[in-house]
Structure 1
Amino acid sequence: MTTYESALEYSQAGLRVVPCKPQSKEPLINDWPKRATTSPSQLRDWFEGHPERNIGLLTGGGVFAVDVDEEQGVKSLNGFVRGRSWPHTAMAETGNDGFHFLFRTNVQVPTQTGFRPGLDLRGESAKIVVAPSVHPDTGTVYRWISHPLDGIAIAPRWLQSWIVSESTATSNTPASGGSPLVLNHSGDVEALAADVIERFPVAQKGTRNAIMVKVLCSLLGRGQEAEVAAEVAIRWWQHFYDRGTIGTTPKEAARTIEKSIKSIIKSGSLQRAVSRDHSAKVAEQSLSPQQSAALGLSDQEANTHSLHTGLTTSLRSDLDRWFAEALLLHSQYEISKEPTREAIPFTSNQLRDLVETRHGRKLKDPEIERLKVKFVSRPDKPANRYELAEQTYTGSSYLRKPSELRLTGLQGLLPP
């Protein structure tokens, strides 16, 4: 994707773009807070034929960024959040081991540098540099983990309250320096409502509850806060009530939806929504006869010529073999998406759900951890039976970043 095409995507997300000098955070234009734009023609003038230019996004007027700087910033973020809600939202790696999180708000957000060690707020009349820009110090390309077109979440209430308490501003409206930001992406309530109405239609009476649960799981699983999910679900309910396929009046909707949301969150199923979608795709794959034999999943004698000695005999139980199978299938799937990938992202839930999908056995947390101890080495702790893989990075729930691994004992089983 060209720099110009990337700039157009930001404009489609309602984000105002600022051209920056090559491999620099310095704006290319004067008076950039006022001249930042979503205009396709202006973006063409700035970026078409100039792939070397960096891209900046103006913050303020309805959107702000939390800038996490390197390891110190990650530690500060963990302490700042302290177990409170941190919804899934647009998130980027910044090119120097840092991160940007974008949030929507209706309060004025002042720019604050170092409000915690390694943490900055980018608010009114500030900017952030974004993909595919090149970091000025490291030469590393910025990249999105979750793109703004996939949604910018409303900032959690506790964070907005903290911003208000820290700020001298008394207005709950965006600052006057530029037009308010109108975001036309999936994070908007209207867009979310249109999305679930299209994806989860109620064709006949009597099916409302089952479909409503799917609506709520879809919204909550995308990181929307409970209040947003409830508002969207009420609009979904009203739509199909007006069409006669939901018989209960919308007056009853709020109470029913609230109870359903509490039940879904309490069940813990949301944490596995993305993982289950992943396992369904991975489970469509199949192992070759040679792979199955090497893992002890078939009666065929394994040809271990290219394998590490002891692999087959180290997998002593069905759980051992199923865990190894899940690791191999997951890795094959990730590599098929990005053949040059060296580090393979993974979560325990992905491996757990693959085992359940293929064999109907739901692993408990202690079981999956024991399997990892037996077969996955970590920098400070080798696998205690046989190393199938090496964990090279430990993920962070706050950063929505999975762990990463590198196949070792299973490497010889990967297709050429």
Structure 2
Amino acid sequence: MITAEQVPPIGHSTASNVSPGSVDDAYQLARLYDSLGFSMIPIRPGTKVAASGWKRNQTERASIDEVLPWIAAGNGLGVVLGQVSNGWVCRDFDDESAFERWAEAYPQLADSLPRSRTGRGFHVYVRVAEKAKTKAWRDGELRGDAAYVVIPPSEHPTAAGAYQWIIHPHQGEPARVLAATGLNRSWLVTEKIEKQSTQNGFSADSVVSVSLSKTVGAVSVGQWEAIQDAIELTVPPAIGNRSGGKFNGLFRLARKVIAILGGRPGPDLTEQIGMAWFEAAQHVIGTGDPGVTCADFAHAIESVRAPDSGDPIAMAFEASKALPIPPFVQRFAAFNESAPTIQLAKLVVSLDQRFSGGVWYLSCHVAGRLVGMKHSHAHSVLKKWVKDGILKIVEPGKPGKPGNKATRYQFVGGRVENSAEA
């Protein structure tokens, strides 16, 4: 076993998952990370996935004597973020343009905070005082408590080269501690994105065209890298005794994959993605049969009704703004083309298009907030459209307080019989 005192001198490392230019520094970097309080985990060679279970590492840091053999075995390194790592979190920018927009808005932070280059963009690191949840934005995400990122000098699975420090942790501002409560509205989100956001926290630029009836057979390099990121995010640290834990992870992955591809993957691609998830999750799912996992993932793909590309209701509302006035409210347009009732009608049509003629959910509170009418008025309008045969109630919701179960509708356009009340 290699100990901290037995770190090979520069030029004598045996690690194989780090780039030639960085392999000599792997042991020294591990010792630096240890001094910074990083909770390190081994990363499987040529991937972004953990080489072993890492639930323990969310609350307890591995010692340097545990870490060094991982490097000797050819593994890369990752850091479990959040409080276990002295509050270190990471802002993941998907590409260089995303980082440049942020750097233009916050030049002092961009020039001082530790930053590493990834395959497409950058990781920017900072310490925060409280717990920070992982958050997704149009141009990347914040990785916080119970999430991990791959750190230099690990080899990147798709890019030619390795993760590299641009501003080294010991050159940056490791002592800087920000308030986690302001993360999503301050330095982590670019001004450009904030100005585009609506009152619902949704940006129109992030609308993804998704068709659940579309089958995708091939992917680009960028799409496959995004799928690998999705695999990393959906592999749980442990399944435990909770039933359905494995399928929950696969279903979350299926929603993300469909959003990335703009449609359902074909059979061969579905199996390829299922195998990749199996390889990443094998140490926690407790099964040696990849065929079962691939079958479960294929079932998850077929079960998806709402891809994970953002809030589907908010996205449908943004898309509805470009739609013509629906015929069933055309008679009101002469009085006010922007009336809330007309906006609600366009939202209903947009939801029908987004869910490919299938079933969708909508609460009166959400509908009213989006189109600018009282929820009681939204209830009355939707109820009338049900009576007129424009909408069909598939499953009634639970009326009352915001957040209660929403009613599930289907747009039918003609008169139908309904036994449920809106």
Scaled by the length of structure 2, what TM-score is found? 0.34
TM-score with structure 1 setting the length: 0.34
